[in-house]
Amino acid sequence: MASYIDLAPFIVGNNDQRTTLLNKISVAATVMADVIRSEDPSGINFNNRLAWAQKVLVDPRSVAEPLLNALLGQNNTSTINTILNSSDNVIFTNVSGAVDIVSGI
């Protein structure tokens, strides 16, 4: 399990590993934006989700920062190595699980 000290550089740092995670998250957010586009408009929180998806398509990196924080929170019992080597599917699942929280930002 990564300690808070181990995770802190991913939140406040500027390093290659953080950049790699932000790049993966940016792509996963773009894919999630397309998923949201095809959702039922009568769904819960759809308007916020759609506004978030539009923001993603304009500037994916701007939404990657809060999603990185969510990803770290969701994986707080994992090791740094596990987080860094997460598959695209795992990253997407984490992004998908955080959209409702970050869509109000």
**DSSP structure string for 64-76:** HHHHHHHHHHHTT
pLDDT of residue 14: 82
* Mean pLDDT, residues 79-93 taken together: 95
Q: Are 89 and 66 in contact (CB under 8 A)?
A: no
pTM of the model: 0.91
- Tens digit of each residue's pLDDT (9 = 90 or more) over 20-69: 999 999 999 999 999 999 999 998 889 999 999 999 999 999 999 999 99
Confidence band for 105, pLDDT divided at 50, 70 and 90: low
Its domain, for residue 93, covers 4-102
Q: How many domains does the chain have?
A: 1
Mean pLDDT of the residues in the chain? 93
